[in-house]
Amino acid sequence: MVQHSPEDFGADYGAYRYDVIFCMDRNANEVFGQIPVRPDIDSAWEGRGVVYYRHPALSSQNAGRSRFSKIVGQPVYATLTIRNLKSTLKLLELLDKAQSS
Task: Determine the structural domain holding residue 20 and report its residue range.
Answer: 2-100
**65 neighbors 37 (Cβ within 8 angstroms):** no
Here the CATH number for the domain that contains residue 12 is: 3.30.70.1260
Rounded to the nearest angstrom, the gap between the alpha carbon of residue 30 and the centroid of all alpha carbons in its chain is 15
Cβ–Cβ under 8 Å, residues 80 and 30: no
34 Cβ contact list (under 8 Å, min separation 6) = 74, 75, 76
Domain count, the chain: 1
Tens digit of each residue's pLDDT, the chain (101 residues): 566 789 899 999 999 999 999 999 888 999 999 999 999 999 999 999 999 999 999 999 999 999 999 999 999 999 999 999 999 889 888 988 888 87
